[in-house]
Structure 1
Amino acid sequence: MSTSNLWLDVLVAVLGGAIRVGTPFLFVSLGECITEKAGRINLGLEGVLVFSAMAGFAGSYLTGHWWMGVLMAGCSGALIAMLHGLVSSLPRVNDIAAGIAIMMLGAGLAFYLGKPLIQPQAQQIPALALGSWSSSPQVAAALNINALFPIGVVLALVLAWALKNTGWGLKLRMVGDSADAARALGTSVTGVRVAATTAGGFIAGLGGASLSLHYPGSWNEGLSSGQGLIAVALVIFARWHPVRCLWAALLFGGAGALGPALQSVGIGGYYHLFNAVPYVLTLAILVWTCSPRQSLRGAPAELGVAR
């Protein structure tokens, strides 16, 4: 195989992997974007992601229908996130500390309830064969797209439009930018934040379903690998904008797919080093966004208010 064909295969594999690996990132980041737009940070996303992945796999396994698994994953994510929203609304409760507690609760429940699900197989989310036109097996395989990914793309576009052009989008942004102004206009700040956190949890739960029912397509206790926490940094990188969350998710997905892509063409050296690229990228983003010039651009003002 020529060098040009070799690197073309790597590029195709990375592009396909960006969609495959980036789909959970997309849903989790969109969910966190809604939550943070309302002025609340949900560090419990890791627990939400793991618990919803377990619930989605259980739903598909018990019912025999993948769409029931996806629905159960979304509802489970909404339930855990709603608990975070309610707890964080109590007096003298810090939402970051509450998020850490929710993360531990969600992960603990998933590990306990999911033990019987480690061996069984469940019906998977179907793949859209967008590469059927190509005679290349690599291209065809890379373009087998998770059926939830187009939904995520549409959701990002709809959210971007709705946050800017609808009444509820204005109310959500107002609560995130100035809770006092929202209260003066008769808006229930607590109600909006709990609703936003719950809706964000449902969307993040779809990311959990993508993990257990598409890629890697099974349930085990190490399924998430910190993707829920990475999504928080991803939202900051995307400047709290849903469409930019889409591009950021693809960037992180491509970074995560780099190691397997190189291994698929026989480049096995430094495999584990390449697998660390998403985490190095997360650290670089956090360092970059900590500068005074960058950290406040686009951020809902209430995220910086001590509650």
Structure 2
Amino acid sequence: MNGDIGLWAVPLAMLGGAIRVSTPFLFVSLGEVITERSGRINLGLEGTLVFGAMSGYALAFLTGSAWIGVLAAALAGAIFGLVHGLLCSLPRVNDIAIGIALMLLGTGLAFFFGKPFIQPVAPDLPAINLGWWSDLPQVQAALRVNVLFLLGFVLALALAWMLRRTRMGLILRVVGDSSDAARALGIRPARVRILATAFGGALAGVGGAYLSLFYPGSWNEGISSGQGLIAVALVIFARWSPVNCFFAALLFGAAGALGPALQSVGVTSGYYLSYAAPFVLTLVVLILSSSKSGALTGAPRELSITK
């Protein structure tokens, strides 16, 4: 089949892979943007992502509905975010330490409760075939877009508009930049941060449901591969902008699709090294963000990483 389009199979495979792989990055990073815009960082999203993947898959299998699984994953993520927000609102509590603790808790609970659901098959989320106009299977596969990817794109635009044009967005930005200024305006920073963290957790749960209900489309204990932690670096790379998160997620998704794309055209010698591309890209982003050239420009001033 690859001979029909020659080397064009590589960019087509990377395009399709970028769309498929980027969706969890997109939802987790959008949730983390809202969380960090409120002045809090949540490093527990890896655990939330994994627990969302497990709970979404379990409910989809038990109910026969993939969308109920997505809602269950969002609810589970919101609960994790709410717990994170409540704990971090206590005096002398470090949000980074709480995030790491909840990451371990989320993955542990997912592995414990998810063991009965490793073998059963749950229904998949629907996808839209945007490559209907082509007879080439490579084009059709590359342009088979899941509904959640499209919802994530719309959500990125909506969140960008919300942050810039609405009173809610103004409150979030004020709280993220100065707690004292927020209190002077009659805003309760702790409440705003709790709600923002719960919202971010809900989106991370949806990202987990995508993993288990569409791509790769099954539940197992190694399903995440660190995507929740990578998404935190993606937010820094995107300069805390929801729209930039969309394009950054596509970039990270393309990096993750490099290995399968090379394998699709018969490159088998050392292709597995390309699977490390997302982690190398994350390292590069973190190094650039640690420079003294103002790489954190645009960061909310109440974030722990800016102090």
Give the TM-score normalised by the residue count of structure 2.
Answer: 0.97
Question: What are the residue-to-residue correspondences of 1:55-204 with 2, within 5 Å?
Answer: 55-204=55-204
Amino acid at match of 2:273: L
1:4 deviates by 10
Q: How does 1:223-242 map to 2 (within 5 A)?
A: 223-242=223-242
1:96/1:258 CA distance change after superposition, 3 Å: same
Return the alpha-carbon distance in structure 2 between the equivalents of residues 210 and 100 of structure 1. Answer: 23
> Which residue number corresponds to residue 44 of structure 1?
44
Q: For residues 305 and 110 of structure 1, do their structure 2 counterparts lie closer, same or farther at Cα, with a shift above 3 Å needed?
A: closer
Corresponding residue number in structure 2 for 1:32: 32
Contact 2:44/2:99 (<8 A) preserved: yes
CA distance, structure 1, for counterparts of residue 3 and residue 134 of structure 2: 21
Write the deviation string for residues 168-196 of structure 1: whole angstroms up to 9, x where unpaired.
Answer: 10000000000110011111100000000
Q: Distance in 2 between matches of 1:200 and 1:236?
A: 15
Count of aligned pairs: 307
- Give aligned-pair identity as a percent: 63
Change (3 A) 1:31 1:2: closer
Give TM-score scaled by structure 1 length: 0.97
3-state DSSP of counterpart to 1:91? coil
How far off is 1:269 after superposition?
A: 1.5
**Partner letter of residue 26 of structure 1?**
L
Between stretches 293-302 and 55-64, larger displacement belongs to 293-302
SS in structure 1 of the partner of residue 303 of structure 2:
helix
Could you tell me how far 1:297 is from its partner in structure 2?
0.8
For 1:25 and 1:196, the matched residues in 2 are separated by 18
- Matches of 2:123 and 2:218 in 1, distance apart? 10
* Residues 1:289 and 1:120: Cα distance change in structure 2 (over 3 Å): same
The alignment partner of 2:160 has SS state of: helix
Distance 2:80 2:304 in 1: 24
Residue 272 (structure 1) shift: 1.8
Q: CA RMSD in A?
A: 1.5
Question: Residue type matched to 1:138 in 2?
Answer: Q
Change (3 A) 1:71 1:275: same
| 1:7 counterpart residue number | 7
Q: Would the aligned equivalents of 1:160 and 1:242 in 2 still touch at CA under 8 Å?
A: yes
CA separation in 2, counterparts of 1:294 and 1:273? 32
